[in-house]
Structure 1
Amino acid sequence: MTGLVRRYALARSILDVPNARSSHTAPTPRGGGVAIVLATLAALPVLAAAGSLPWDALWALAGAGGFVALVGFLDDHGHIAARWRLLAHFAAAAWALAWLGGAPPLHLFGSEIDLGWLGAALAAVYLVWLLNLYNFMDGIDGIASVEAIAVGVGGALLYALTGQPGLAMAPLALAAAAGGFLLWNFPPARIFMGDAGSGFLGIVLGVLSLQAAWQAPQLLWSWAILLGVFVVDATLTLLRRLLRGEKVYEAHRSHAYQHASRRFGRHLPVTLAVAAIDLFWLLPIALWVGAGGLDGLLGVVLAYLPLITLALKFRAGMPDSRAG
């Protein structure tokens, strides 16, 4: 399916042309993430009919993910003002939360805390931030696909660990769709994901994390750990740019992964490093928390501290010294 989308993008001249803020050097078709969207949306009803996905979760995932993908697709073909995109993102988050029954209870130091409407508001911000940071982090070949595969497989293992293997199929389906796209996006990429795919992955992973927390509250922390590479880099970059008074909605290339790719002169080492961190550092801690052996908040702190150190080492949020 990605190959067909690539032909479509080439025929319509939907190309990502390099500029001073780009991490690539040759015009490359974009929008390939539509294949991830279509493959996942096709799988979800099958899983629901087979009993591997609750119907309310199906409507949450399909409605929110499909709407975000549509907005991203239109933005890939033209331009939608940032305020309208943000409004659409919050509408998608509200839709998902309505079908999920709001925000799940927060599991903290052995207790469950129901935050009510405040929890729902925080969950909406969480979903919108996750889908946007996924867009921000989709800046070098393969990185967004690798992250989706690692988090999807990790989420499936968490369900198996907590005695709910049937529910593992939805995150596995998303990981499989991302894997198919990765064959075309692996460095050097033959097509880019585009806003439709990255936004879809971000909000779907977020909704899956909330669904998992409804099944077992500690799993929200586990999913936050699995997403650590993207959360830490994007959040730290945003905060440092805000402190410098920069317009955070403008394109830039100051994420840690972008600095790292320029330092190494290639995308591949950075993408493989993200995969290794996900597999050998974040996944074991997430499983530890999911099994109840470690408090979720402590697990997040343990998982994130080295990531913060690494992001600072690679100058997350700092201007490119070679720009301008």
Structure 2
Amino acid sequence: MVMQVFTNSPWAAIAFAAVGAACVCAVILLVLLKTGLAWRLATDVPNDRSLHVRPTPRVGGWGIVPVSVAAIWLLGPNLWCVAAAVAFLAAVSQIDDRRGLPARVRFAAHFIAVVGFVVLYPAPVQWWILAVLSFLMLWLVNLYNFMDGADGLAGGMALFGFGGYAVAALIANQPLPDVALACASVAGAALGFLLFNFHPARIFLGDAGSISLGFLAGAFGYWGWLRGAWPIWFTVLVFAPFITDASVTLVRRLLRGEKFWRPHREHYYQRMVRSGMGHARTAAAWYAVMVAGITIALFMLGRSPAVQWCVVAVWIVVLCLMGVAVDLRWRRFQSTLSEQSSGV
């Protein structure tokens, strides 16, 4: 029945899936907040590395994950492995949210989910390419968690990123209703979460939500490439702002000999918030960059591979230059603080 509606009116079908997922997610989170369960499930207590100042429940995953899993299972039965992996990762991450787990246990769970998915659906390429893709998917799982630190940021990235996936699957030469509907549902669930997460945030995503969304970003990107909906670079371009920020920050910390998994406040988005832009303006700026990248990615579909990769390289350079601008703003901000302290 759903596939028949998709065939007759695909745009209406994905819009219905997105709106339905947004409503269900919003209702779940509203109930958790109104009943007080949100604070008992998992609460983020501010520390010296936080960008917020009051305890806030980390229950975004409790709204996004069940809605996404159910939608994937019902609307994209071919993607049952994705739904099962998300449920597994969310369960492990919720334990981490509540009690804390060693890094090796968390990474082992991520490895099992990613490698299991790739082994079940291997692409007809050489083994080392699958190994590289698996590593990149593992990085997406973790970078989404690293980038979940400002009001409205990770939720907005999910809304636009999975929305971009849905549109790309819809306009592919061979429409993929399972991918389009599943991605639209995840984007809708992210919108339902964003209603409570945009500044001032009433809830945070939490590991259960961020780890699950990171896996979905990689898994859907891989699946769309495997099914011919888009080239392999498409996922990189869609989520390029997150990938660039997290990757550059990781390299900097590794070069300084720091443990990359420990919390910090050195991401570009964190410096933007701390240097005076605030949560709302920072999120809006990231939304604009994300939409620009997705628009470019959709426009480049169907172009020659050489042109596509040149555009990807240019966009990454543009993002790095934006990062340089953020660094310059941060240095001026620190200099101003230093001068004020000296004056006092």
Q: TM-score, normalised by structure 2?
A: 0.82
Is it true that 1:86 corresponds to 2:107 in the alignment? Answer: yes
Match among 248, 260, 275 for residue 236 of structure 1: 248
1:147-166 equivalent positions in 2, closer than 5 A: 147-163=157-173, 164=175, 166=177
State the distance in 1 between where 2:94 and 2:110 align: 13
Structure 1 match to 2:38: 9
Question: For residues 217 and 302 of structure 1, what CA distance do their matches in structure 2 show?
Answer: 23
Closer, same or farther in 2 for the Cα pair 1:26/1:289, shift >3 Å?
same
2:70 to 34, 42, 55: 42
Q: Secondary structure at the match of 2:323?
A: helix
Rg (Cα) greater in structure? 2
Residue correspondence of structure 1 range 83-162 to structure 2 within 5 A? 83-99=104-120, 101-102=121-122, 104=123, 114=125, 116-162=126-172
* Letter matched to residue 38 of structure 2: A
Judged with a 3 Å threshold, the aligned counterparts in structure 2 of structure 1 residues 181 and 119 are, in CA distance, closer, same or farther, namely same
Q: Distance in 2 between matches of 1:42 and 1:26?
A: 33
- Give per-residue Cα distances to partners, 1:58-112, cap 9 Å, x unaligned: 22x112211111111000001100011111110010121123x22x46xxxxxxx
CA positional deviation for 1:218 = 4.3
- Specify the alignment match of 2:184 in structure 1: 172
Gaps of 5+ in 1: 48-52, 106-113
The alignment partner of 1:155 has SS state of: helix
Aligned pairs for 1:222-301 within 5 A: 222-279=234-291, 281-293=292-304, 295=306, 296-301=308-313
The residue type paired with residue 32 of structure 2 is: V
Which among 70, 85, 107 is matched to residue 91 of structure 2? 70
The structural deviation recorded for 1:233 is 0.1
- Give the 5 Å matches for 1:20-59: 20-47=48-75, 53=76, 55=78, 57-59=79-81
Aligned match of 1:192 = 204
Distance 1:223 1:288 in 2: 14
Q: Is the 8 A contact 1:41 1:62 kept in 2?
A: yes
The structure carrying a bigger helix percent of its residues is 2
Give the C-alpha shift of residue 45 in structure 1: 1.9
Q: Is the 8 A contact 2:151 2:200 kept in 1?
A: yes
1:150 maps to a residue whose letter is F
Counterpart for residue 111 of structure 1: none
Q: What do you get for the CA RMSD once the two structures are aligned?
A: 2.1
Deviations along 1:205-239, whole A, 9 cap, x unmatched?
11000001012274321121010000000000000
Per-residue CA deviation, residues 125-167 of structure 1 (Å, 9 max, x unaligned), is 1111101000000000110110011111111111122131523
Structure 2 stretches of 5 or more lacking a match? Answer: 1-27, 338-344
Q: Deviations over 1:11-33 (max 9, x none)?
A: x2732111110011111111222
8 Å contact kept, 1:218–1:292:
no
Q: Relative to structure 1, is the Cα distance of residues 214 and 14 closer, same or farther in structure 2, using a 3 angstrom cutoff?
A: closer
Aligned to 1:306: 318
CA contact (8 A) 2:69 2:83 kept: yes
Tell me, in whole angstroms, the C-alpha distance in 1 between the residues paired with 2:327 and 2:254.
Answer: 15
> Structure 1 counterpart of 2:298, which letter?
L
TM-score scaled to structure 1, two decimals? Answer: 0.87
Amino acid aligned to 1:4: V
Identity across matched positions, percent: 35
Offset of 1:168 from its aligned partner? Answer: 1.2
